[in-house]
Structure 1
Amino acid sequence: MISSIEENTKIILLLLDLHEYQATFFIEISIAESLQKLIKNLSLSGHEIALYNVNSDAETVAKTKQNLEQILQKPIRGLRQKSHRLPYSEIKKMDFMYVSNIEESKIDFLWRKLTEKTEIFTENELTIVPESQSPYSQVPFNDYVLQVTPMNYYESMLLESLKSNEYVMIYANAWQLFSKDKLPFILPFYKKIKLSRSFEDRLEDLFQFMDEHEIAVSRMKDYLF
């Protein structure tokens, strides 16, 4: 699985490099130690390294953060979390500067609003960055929406959102570049649509669209601080 994740991430890295974009890579804590070589390459390429917590406890998060900071000789500022959420007070004690919260993308996610705030706010001296959502269609900009939404509609949604919002966060996952028969874990059927080369082409189309419309792209830490 690790080698496949490395190969798929390299595809994303190549696309970013071709368009001269710098992005934030949220590394899942349980596999971070196994991805040290890839993480070093991402950091040396100018991308931000942050952490993604699926179900790790605070002690594990703190240890992983410390180990990677020693390897990279750079501070890790961001933590992403979904259903398993640590209290902001504990996250602040680990010297994180921002938290990126995401919601579960179930099959009805295309047709329901996000249940949390969609604007950046501060709590416990942490910058909290919720998911972006189109103010017009009410569709969130999560990885699943990028995967399945018709590209013309997604692009229109992006432009409309930028007219009223200062930023839009776009999500993608390395697993979206796996073919259906080589996925490293079980996914619901609706998340197996338009994977692999189809998703790679979709990313390239989106990046070309952003170039054509001169949409600025930034790492999380650069935009926030």
Structure 2
Amino acid sequence: DDPLALLSGSGTLTRRQEKLAKRLSRQAELKRLRMAQEIQRQLEELEVKQKELEERGVAVEKALRGEGNETDNNKEETELMGEWFALVHEKTRLGRYEQELLVRAKELELEDRQARLQQDLRERLTVDDEMKTKDDIEAEREILNEMMEIVEQRDTLLDMMEEDRLRYRSLGHAKTSLEAGPCVRPNAGFWVLVALGVVVVCLSHVLAPLLVHVSR
């Protein structure tokens, strides 16, 4: 990711290097676009699964209160509670999967911004130092600083994913302990927590700008 990797020893790009850099940059843009589209597709599929999960959770709650359909009402309470625990586990798994997708979308956004900064810096470095103004030099310095900030943000995303992985593992242990312990009925309205608004908001605020920029 070195922004100076394609520079010659004299500090200028040869025509061949410049052509290669542009071709590689375009290929990277198309790859990011495909990945962003795939993330969007997976989030849309996740929305459907979460909706189905929510509906089934509500049905199980009603059955536990004796208000479900005939099939569910004929089930033993232990069977219904077992299904409820399974639904809770699936809700947690889907929530973690959603977070992974959104983190990856943010990472793609940072990659796209970094690539544009690199291209801007390459173009600026083709100008001889004698021709640069103080503003030009300051702009180059700001670009380098922003690129360093992006690297730090990407590292932070990786740390977040690791923390989430450890938290998910601990939740798995908690689930096992809970299933082995006393049976507790879920509170009414519990499945409101499976609301889908977060997916819609994140799609519009995270993926949409990236798709617009990369597709240009």
Q: TM-score, normalised by structure 1?
A: 0.21
Higher relative contact order (CA 8 A, sep 6+): 2
Structure 1 or 2: more helix by fraction = 2
* The structure with more radius of gyration: 2
Structure 1 or 2: more strand by fraction = 1
Q: TM-score, normalised by structure 2?
A: 0.22
